Amino acid sequence: MHIVGFGGFPHPTLLEYVFELAGGRKVLFDRTAAPQFDFPLEIDAEVTNLSFYPWPPADLRELALSRDVIVVGGGNTANMLAVWRVHGFDAILREAWEAGVVLTGWSAGMICWFEAGVTDSFGPQLEGMPDGLGFLPGSACPHYDGEDLRRPVYRRLVADGFPSGLALDDGAGAVFAGMDLREIVSASPCATGYRVGRDGEKPLEARILPAP
């Protein structure tokens, strides 16, 4: 049971790590958070783009369970979660995770797995969203070094009682085995993760991945 969250758009090195972890390259790309975009990278993988518009595919469960990796793209997290829940895809994702499919994604596709997250779903000012999927405990914040408001807003939210949690720079990934954080991986020596609590933030050591 693995989840790998990326703070920002994934570097090919990070995706290669995910494929190795999954032991395969059959990818389902969920683009619900930004339906106008197909999978944005040219990679050596079998990629199927998933759309819920105008309706989900009839074989949605079988499609998800037959993949090695489910990748969730960035965009509007709140809208994405609402669509998933209406069509029961939240339950399918949990079943896939428990069956060994690796769940991953960036931005919206990072914070969705947690109980709560910092999102621009409601406007550029950023807000705390308390109703994530809850596969992972606590809260999450992407783009920690990539957007000026992310760090101060997340720290303020947590100081004011928002669940403590994990922040990731754009080039970093957090690898969970079950619900436990196993390691931080990075495509750059400048990118890492942070534990963020009411008393501030603590940087986490990242393992720099070799280029594929």
Give the pLDDT confidence of 132-153 residue by residue, as tens digits.
Answer: 999 999 999 999 998 999 999 9
What's the pLDDT score for residue 113?
A: 98
Q: Is the pLDDT of residue 194 over 90?
A: yes
- Helices (H) and strands (E) counted in the chain, each on its own, are 6, 14
What's the pLDDT score for residue 43?
A: 84
Q: Is the pLDDT of residue 191 over 80?
A: yes
| 107 is a catalytic site residue | yes
Which SS3 state, helix, strand or coil, does residue 23 take?
Answer: coil
Residues 6+ apart with CB under 8 A from 76: 33, 34, 108, 121
What's the pLDDT score for residue 84?
A: 97
- End-to-end CA, the chain: 24
Q: Span 175-186, mean pLDDT?
A: 97
CATH code assigned to 7-166: 3.40.50.880
Residues 6+ apart with CB under 8 A from 174: 4, 5, 110, 166, 168, 181, 184, 193
Q: Span 95-103, mean pLDDT?
A: 98
What's the pLDDT score for residue 39?
A: 81
Query: Residue 10: pLDDT band by 50, 70, 90 thresholds?
Result: confident
Nearest by Cα to 140 from 122, 161, 119, 159: 119
What's the pLDDT score for residue 41?
A: 77
Beta carbons within 10 angstroms of residue 78's beta carbon: 18
CA dist list (Å): 69 to 77, 103, 111, 183: 20, 6, 17, 19
| 2 is a catalytic site residue | no
Give the CA radius of gyration of the chain.
16
What's the pLDDT score for residue 165?
A: 97
Which member of 121, 139, 143, 164 is catalytic? Answer: 143
Which member of 107, 121, 164, 186 is catalytic? Answer: 107
Q: Span 3-31, mean pLDDT?
A: 95
Q: Are 9 and 74 in contact (CB under 8 A)?
A: yes
Residue extents of the structural domains in the chain: 7-166
